[in-house]
Amino acid sequence: MIVCVAVVGHQNNPLYIQSFTDADDALKLHHIVHCSLDVVDERVNNPKKSGPTLNETFLGLLYPTENYKVYGYLTNTKVKFILVTTDLDVRDADVRNFFRRFHAAYVDAVSNPFHVPGKKITSRTFADRVSTIVQSFGLSSAV
């Protein structure tokens, strides 16, 4: 179950944070997203030779905490997408698929001429699309 998705700009400023459960404290989710940014920076600056090759956009599992798994994705403009989920078994292909669709929604939101780059994304269409993607996460078996 996806708990939270976040879009963080290239100066680590939050552009969009949305949580999908009422149970958990929103602040705690913010904190988790914030911590994962450090992991992203470290992953990008010190590439592992044996790991995924350099400049890969999908960063994979960033770090597991007590209940959550955090996945990261980096676009070419250094905008980061963070996904926080409580699922225990999550397929890699599902997450990649999720990020692909999320990236498409993000590109559409940013192409809006009234959107100021660097400011929060306020488009309701974007929010609706994101909730659709989140709800269909893990349900479809097609990759």
Partner 1 sequence: MTMIGVGKIKQYSNILEKPLSKGKQEVSLSAFAFLFSELVQYNQTRVDNIAELERSSVNGSSIVNESNIFHGKWIRLEDAGYAVGARVLELLCHRDKVLLASWTSTTPSFGNEGNRRETRLLGILSFVHSTVWKVLFGKVADSLEKGTEHEDEYMISEKDLLVNKLCIAHHSYNQLVCLHCRFISIPKDMGTFNCGAFVAGIVRGVLDGAGFPAVVTAHFVPMEGLQRPRTTILIKFAEEVSTTRLPL
Contacting residues toward partner 1, per CB under 8 A:
10, 44-45, 53-58, 74-78, 100, 103-104, 106-107, 110-111, 113, 117
Least spacing, CB of residue 66 vs partner 1, in Å: 31
CA distance linking residue 56 with residue 50, whole number of Å:
13
Least spacing, CB of residue 14 vs partner 1, in Å: 18
Look at residue 100 and give its three-state secondary structure. helix
Helical (H) or strand (E) element with 84: strand 80-85
**Under a CB-based contact definition with an 8 Å cutoff, are residues 33 and 84 in contact?**
yes
Cβ closer to partner 1: 28 or 101?
Answer: 101
Cβ closer to partner 1: 52 or 65?
Answer: 52
Least spacing, CB of residue 18 vs partner 1, in Å: 20
Cβ closer to partner 1: 31 or 100?
Answer: 100
**Other CB atoms within 10 Å distance of the CB of residue 99:** 23
Look at residue 97 and give its three-state secondary structure. helix
